[in-house]
Structure 1
Amino acid sequence: MNNQMEYRRGRHCIFDLHVHLVFVTKYRRGVLNSEHIRFLAGVFADVCARFDASLVECDGEDDHVHLLVTYPPKLAVSTLVNSLKGASARQLRNRYSVRTHRNHLWSPSYFAASCGGAPLDVIREYVENQRTPQ
């Protein structure tokens, strides 16, 4: 990706929203290998496409995965997360015999952080300086 901003357009908005997600396996059990993570990346990309979102990057280790997703403003991150975790667990279980705890691959919690754009201090200063004294 180049350094130039690439905005997406909706019917009534222009946006560039990214979220960094981390899903941890139940009890942080090390059940994932590199083949599983490659398979999960495909599942995550398919789920994102159904929500008009895009999987930008995906990788992980034996007990967690990191995702970078760009998504439209109409989509709640929690809705996306629920679909990502549900579909990935179901499809991974169907494809591979992955050891899970009582058929639960993922911990019910997750990490989500907005990312991209300018640092908050820069944005705060920009907003504060909108009305200049005349």
Structure 2
Amino acid sequence: MSRCRVGKGSHSIFSVRLHFVFVTHYRRKVLTAKMLDRLQEMVKQVANKMFCELIEFNGEPDHVHILLDFHPKNSISAVAGSLKSSTARMLKKEFPEEVQQHYWGKVSFWSNSYYVASCGGAPIETLKKYIQNQQSP
């Protein structure tokens, strides 16, 4: 993962880092190591399309942590929505057996809610270490 950057717009200079946590629906322990690896790739792709940059990613069987260098031309809810919808769709498509063990019918993959916090108060290295130390499956 790359270092955090200071971005520039036509009339602004910004450095916005956001810590997202997405929880699986019903907090089911669905995510495997292979799924987490693929999720990281997906999150990076979606973030890049939204002019954001993935700084750190990790998770456990029932949730993921995402640390993003956020571009303020986006809304936080739009980025969260895009990340959740695209990753859910791809996980269901690429890992149907794993997903169907826990969810069937039209049940969504991610919980409807999410956590997000600005990372301005804590040193970025502290947050990175916290995410790196998640108990991956």
Instruction: Structure 1: give runs of 5+ residues left out of the alignment.
Output: 120-134
The equivalent residue for 2:113 is: 109
Gap change, CA 1:52 and 1:107, over 3 Å in 2: same
SS at match of 1:35: helix
SS at match of 1:79: helix
Residues in 1 aligned to 2:72 and 2:25: alpha-carbon distance in whole angstroms: 30
Structure with greater proportional strand content: 1
* Contact 2:19 2:119 survives alignment (8 Å): yes
Q: TM-score of the superposition, structure 2-length normalised?
A: 0.79
SS at match of 1:113: strand
Residues in 2 aligned to 1:59 and 1:49: alpha-carbon distance in whole angstroms: 18
Identity between Structure 1 and Structure 2 (%): 39
Q: TM-score of the superposition, structure 1-length normalised?
A: 0.80
Q: CA deviation at 1:118?
A: 7.1
Kindly provide the amino acid, as one letter, of the partner of residue 22 in structure 2. Answer: F
Residues in 1 aligned to 2:74 and 2:31: alpha-carbon distance in whole angstroms: 28
95-104 vs 10-19, greater mean Cα deviation:
95-104
Which structure has the larger Rg over C-alpha atoms?
Answer: 1
List per-residue Cα deviations over 1:80-113 (Å, max 9, x = no partner): 0000000000001111111325341100000000
SS at match of 2:29: coil
The equivalent residue for 1:49 is: 48
* Contact 2:57 2:65 survives alignment (8 Å): yes
Please, what is the CA RMSD of the aligned residues? 1.9
The equivalent residue for 1:9 is: 8
**Count of residue pairs the alignment pairs up:** 117
